[in-house]
Amino acid sequence: MQTGATGTVDSIAVLGYEKCSEQDTITPLEIFKGAAMVTSGGIAPWQREVQPRELDVRLVGLNPGVVTMQMGTQVIADSTLKEDELFDVLYVPGGVGSGELTSDERVLGAIRRHHEAGRVVAANCSGVGVLARAGVLDDSPVTCVAAVARGLRAEGFNVPVGRRMWIGNPATGIWTSTGSYGVHGGAVALVAHYLGRETGTIVSMMFDTLSGLGDVIFEEVGPEFYHHPELEESFQDYFQDMLLPRVTADAPAAAEARR
């Protein structure tokens, strides 16, 4: 999997948008910024043989100024999404505002542009629905929050009933995680895979992930979630149309986008 001009991950963008989830957005952003501190040598619990290097990690907003998250937290993005800019990893978090992103051509175009350029495209929670509508998912298994799992399956996407905390697919460059509970482990696993086991180990110790999840963070597929059919159905009935709006006649279906 080619990620950047040098074949390494040198830049990561976490997308910030109106009503994105605080946990889904800030948790991976902090983990990735922690990884940047490790790669630069700013955090070095032992002497490492690899040379320090810079890792550019940013919260990238859709518009200049303040991003208001779903619980009202306000943050200022590090930069604004540009049409001529490519990151080695583009990360789309979930949140109640993700439903609007499923028809935002600027966001869908950015996802396609990164995918076509061989960059890693990642998402968590309901953000996985945005990847689906961008047409970058194939028949490979993905994971997501339970609230949109039924809708994605109905559209033909491969979301196993035994949902995994994260599923990474280096061959396609797609990395997906479940809702907020799985975001932490999925982000650390992504770091371990693309930035190396040693960096992943240090980051996992910084955030206490290794002690909580063990060596599974070095795997491409995370632990299986419990399945609660009746509870999941109730939440799907409540949230699905908000997080994964139905495809209308004037909006191309995901199947069409994949052609």
Question: Would you state the pLDDT for residue 1?
Answer: 41
Low-confidence ranges of the chain (pLDDT < 70): 1-7, 248-259
Question: Would you state the pLDDT for residue 188?
Answer: 98
User: In this structure, are strands 166-169 and 174-177 parallel, antiparallel, or unpaired?
Assistant: antiparallel
> Which residue from 121, 243, 106, 116 is spatially nearest to 173, judged by alpha carbons?
121
Q: Supply the angle between the helices 105-116 and 127-134 in degrees, to the nearest 10.
A: 70
Question: Would you state the pLDDT for residue 251?
Answer: 47
Per-residue three-class SS string for 1-30: CCCCCCCCCCEEEEEECCCCCHHHHHHHHH
> Which residue from 121, 110, 137 is spatially nearest to 88, judged by alpha carbons?
121
The answer to whether 199 and 187 have CB atoms below 8 angstroms apart is no
Question: Would you state the pLDDT for residue 249?
Answer: 55
Q: Write down all domains in the chain, each with its CATH number in brackets.
A: 11-243 (3.40.50.880)
Question: Would you state the pLDDT for residue 7?
Answer: 62
Torsions phi, psi for 20 (to 5 deg): -75, 160
Question: Would you state the pLDDT for residue 253?
Answer: 46
Question: Would you state the pLDDT for residue 39?
Answer: 97
Question: Would you state the pLDDT for residue 8?
Answer: 87
